[in-house]
Amino acid sequence: MASKRVPTSPYPDQKPGTSGLRKKVPVFRQPHYVQNFVQAIIDCIPERKGATLVIGGDGRFFNKEVVQIALKMAAANGFGRVLVGQDGLLSTPAASCVIRKHGAIGGIVLSASHNPGGPEGDFGIKFNGSNGGPAPESVTEAIFARTKAIGDYRISDAPDLDLGRIGTTEIDGTTVEVIDPVADYAELMRTLFDFDALSKMFASGFRMRFDALSAVTGPYAKAILEGALGAAPGTVVNGEPKPDFGGHHPDPNPVHAHELFDLMHGPDAPDFGAASDGDGDRNMIVAPGLFVTPSDSLAILAAHAHRAPGYAGGLAGVARSMPTSRAVDRVAAALKIEAFETPTGWKFFGNLLDAGRITLCGEESAGTGSNHVREKDGLWAVLLWLNILAATGKPAQDLVREHWAKFGRDYYTRHDYEEIDAGAAKRLMEGLRAKIGTLPGTKVGGLTVKAADDFRYVDPVDGSVTEAQGVRVTFAEDARIVYRLSGTGTAGATLRVYIERYESAPDRLERPVADVLGPVVAVARALADIEAITGRAEPSVVT
């Protein structure tokens, strides 16, 4: 077989967002669209000759076709070896694990994470570097620049490979290894957690439900929870990855994982409930009768991480994305370790992890992780929770309430206004930014503004600066509102409004969330003129 150069023309819309290039499937199916972006990625890897590349994705619609394209392009561009998950599957955290374990120069990860799949659904392509993490902005900007100048791409005319069979083959001098997508990841989990203690806990009658939402985490959860740890058959539900996620919206939150949420709030709730998302990097934790917010989950994991073997030496530090509640900051203060606040996007944790400044990190959007890989990791978070439960012998709901009693509670909610007019979204944010200087000291709906700013991040490792990451408004009443436009949607604009309020009085720790946050929600809507500018009286999703 031979490689060939195919003439092409640039597409103007291939700018990567918070986590790679995400568009609707019909956009990616345009002639040369995938090839242009993949070639732009490859052109930004100057040391690719003879290097190892990892390829895999979450199994959503169009995944198999793009894996074949990427394999043939990797061969035509001189990579020495390509590792690809069986059937084209690799969860995002597993891809990071494989990159790091095998010394790869990077990986092409195919996923739109928690976004819906199917022929009219979403698709995504991103590049992860040799540390296993999402490419930094300097690289994604270089990729975008290359997409605007591309004139041809290189691809082998070899036939499609059989990705269902584990083994080694060759394309135009490039070795292609189809690997078990679970093996390396499961091996890493054994080094972090006490599998013997977890097995004993399940053997004693401990019951859990893990909803994989018909996405990529299913095989990983079955192999580890039901296989290695001996959880009862059927513990993992919706465990077979499907191109359309079985009709599920693969976002692990109480709205989209409502079957699990309802079960955990019902009369025969198991001891622990969890779910993961489309590509396996997010998680939802539900105790019997009690939903654990991602912000609280991060804080509780930080407080108890030392109970797992992989973190027995303590934490170097912690980090959270700016919109995430300040709950983990309170734990860090008690542990006397550093706490960092970063922009949204896992790539911003990468420098801190690589520099050894932090061990745990997380985002309010259900992403939690540690220094074991350079991505958020849904199943890892579940296993850390289970290890803590096994080590303490306490029910999950008791651990949450004990945490609130010790540190106080950060009541928290997020309001998403999805697919709003992009121009209206821009006007809304510009209006907020124009008010920043005049807000401190003013009263809005019974709350007094203490401070307001447009979040600006200076990376403490390399000094790079990231501007305009969201408008923060804090109040004297220990409340906070954050306004931010999301970078993960594929249509229109998504306005995210994050609302929180801290309470520490013992008699105020278990009040209805809506009662505590209602006044702050009203202020958030009024302050930004959301309905007048967007035409939306209510958010699309509340989590």
d(CA 516, CA 511): 7
Average pLDDT for residues 486-500, to the nearest whole number? 80
Taking 70 as the threshold, does the pLDDT of residue 204 lie above it?
yes
Taking 70 as the threshold, does the pLDDT of residue 490 lie above it?
no
d(CA 258, CA 397): 19
d(CA 103, CA 262): 43
DSSP secondary structure letter of residue 247: G
Instruction: Look at residue 174 in the predicted model and tell me its pLDDT.
Output: 97
pLDDT band at 345; cut points 50, 70, 90: confident
96 is catalytic: no
Backbone angles phi, psi at 159, to 5 degrees: -70, 165
Percent of the chain, pLDDT > 90? 94
Angle at the Cα of 259 from the Cα atoms of 255 and 261, rounded to 5 degrees: 65
d(CA 374, CA 377): 9
3-state secondary structure of 123: strand
493 contacts: CB under 8 Å, gap ≥ 6 = 419, 420, 421, 422, 424, 425, 426, 485, 486
Strands ordered across the beta sheet of 208-211 = 236-237, 208-211, 272-276, 283-287, 290-292
Q: At what angle do helices 378-392 and 92-101 cross, to 10 degrees?
A: 90
**Which one of the listed residues 19, 111, 113, 365 is annotated catalytic?**
113
Token reading at 11: 């597409």
pLDDT band at 488; cut points 50, 70, 90: low
pLDDT band at 487; cut points 50, 70, 90: low
Place of tokens 């370790």: 337
Token reading at 455: 């979040």
Place of tokens 């001996």: 230
pLDDT band at 491; cut points 50, 70, 90: low
Instruction: Look at residue 295 in the predicted model and tell me its pLDDT.
Output: 96
Q: How far is CA 98 from the centre of its chain?
A: 18
Dump pLDDT digits (tens) for 60-108: 999 999 999 999 999 999 999 999 999 999 999 999 999 999 999 999 9
